[in-house]
Structure 1
Amino acid sequence: MATATKLEVFDAKGKKAGSVDLPEAIFGAETNVPLIHQVVTAQLAAARQGTHKTKTRGERSGSGVKPFKQKGTGRARQGSVRMPQHRGGGIVHGPVPRDYSQRTPKKMIAAALVGLLSDRARANRLHVVEGFGIADKPSTKTAREFLAQVAPGNRVLVVVDREDVLTVLSVQNLPNVHVLFHDQLNAYDVVVSDDLVFTKAAFDAFVDGRAAKEDSK
């Protein structure tokens, strides 16, 4: 399925309010599934704290004397109550603090995101709206009703610009709805979402930002 060169923009009432151009470099790229898997796996790995720790035999508290004499008891010889087979003893080959992050080149990260955005555009799962119709104060009800019209998917990712505080406050408590600023868009949040909803301001800022990065190379 070919990617449309234009995408309709809807207003707060769900009616057509214009259109935006879909740059071929961002929304017409090939979707490389193995690359996306590698980038998402690296992103999840980097999010791990890696602070897990168990105590070895030498770190456990307890006496260092033998629990009973070496010979004459008929039991297996034991050197310390801190040995792993004793209750409260050390752990053998347990986890230790480590860094789970994986080196992922920036070009791979960018290619994975572009591939996902192109896939959402081809599947008609990319939406651009003028706004949520929230003017004075946050309204979760208004945001919920609007998203039900625009984005039919079970999991929705809303992308806004950093000035749109009212929209953030309105959608952040909705179940199965995640909100990001346009400069936080990443492969993981896109791949776990069924529908992607941009505000017009966020879409323009994202496209302009990508174009600026390409020009600076």
Structure 2
Amino acid sequence: MATATTLEVLDAKGTKAGSVDLPEAIFAAEANVPLIHQVVTAQLAAARQGTHKTKGRGERSGSGAKPFKQKGTGRARQGSVRMPQHRGGGIVHGPVPRDYSQRTPKKMIAAALSGLLSDRTRANRLHVVESFGLGDQPSTKTAREFLASVAPGRRVLVVVDRADETTVLSVRNLQHVHVLFQDQLNAYDVVVSDDVVFTKAAFDAFVAGRSAGEESK
């Protein structure tokens, strides 16, 4: 299926207000599923704190002496009340603090994101809007109604530029809507979203940033 080289820009009323060019390197890439899986898995692993900890036998409080003599009681021999089979004893092979992060090259991260954005583009699930028509005052109701007309999917990712505080305040409390700045866009948030909605300013900044990164390589 051919990918369009341009995409319509919608205004606050949902009508065409212009168009933007879609660089092939970002929006016409092949979606490499194993690569996307690896990058998303690494991202989720890096989000884990890794602070889990249980106490072993040597870390539990309690006497180290034998609770009763070795023979003659008819009971199983025991060496300490801190042994795992006793209440309050140590945990066998319990979790210890560790770092779950995985090394993921920047080129792999960029390729996974491009593949996902290209997939959304081919499915007509990528949208660019001039603005949400909010003016100077945040309005969750206005943002909800606008998104319902623009993005038909249940889960929507809204991408804005860092100066657009009004849009952030308007959409951040909407159910099934996640908002990011354009320099925070990542594979996980795209893969769990049905539709991706860019503001025009965020789209231009994202493309410019990716193009600058490609030139610096």
TM-score tier (shorter): over 0.9
TM-score with structure 2 length normalisation? 0.99
Q: Secondary structure at the match of 1:45?
A: helix
Q: Secondary structure at the match of 1:58?
A: helix
The match for 1:50 is 50
My pick for the range that moved more, 80-89 or 66-75, is 66-75
- After the TM superposition, which parts of structure 1 deviate over 6 Å for at least 4 consecutive aligned residues? none
The match for 2:128 is 128
The match for 1:116 is 116
The match for 1:98 is 98
Residue-by-residue CA offset, 1:128-185 (whole Å, 9 max, x unaligned): 0000001121100000000000000000000000000000000000010000000000
Percent pairwise identity: 88
TM-score with structure 1 length normalisation? 0.99
Amino acid at match of 2:191: V
Distance of 1:108 and 1:215 partners within structure 2: 17
Q: CA RMSD in A?
A: 0.5
The match for 2:25 is 25
Distance of 2:213 and 2:125 partners within structure 1: 25
Distance of 1:141 and 1:204 partners within structure 2: 27
The match for 1:191 is 191
Distance of 2:173 and 2:160 partners within structure 1: 15
Question: What pairs up with 1:192-207 in 2 under 5 angstroms?
Answer: 192-207=192-207
Unaligned runs of 5+ in 1: none
Q: Secondary structure at the match of 2:3?
A: coil
Distance of 2:198 and 2:159 partners within structure 1: 5
Residue-by-residue CA offset, 1:185-206 (whole Å, 9 max, x unaligned): 0000000000000000000000
Distance of 2:213 and 2:196 partners within structure 1: 22
Paired residue total: 217
Shift of 1:69: 1.2
Q: Secondary structure at the match of 1:77?
A: coil
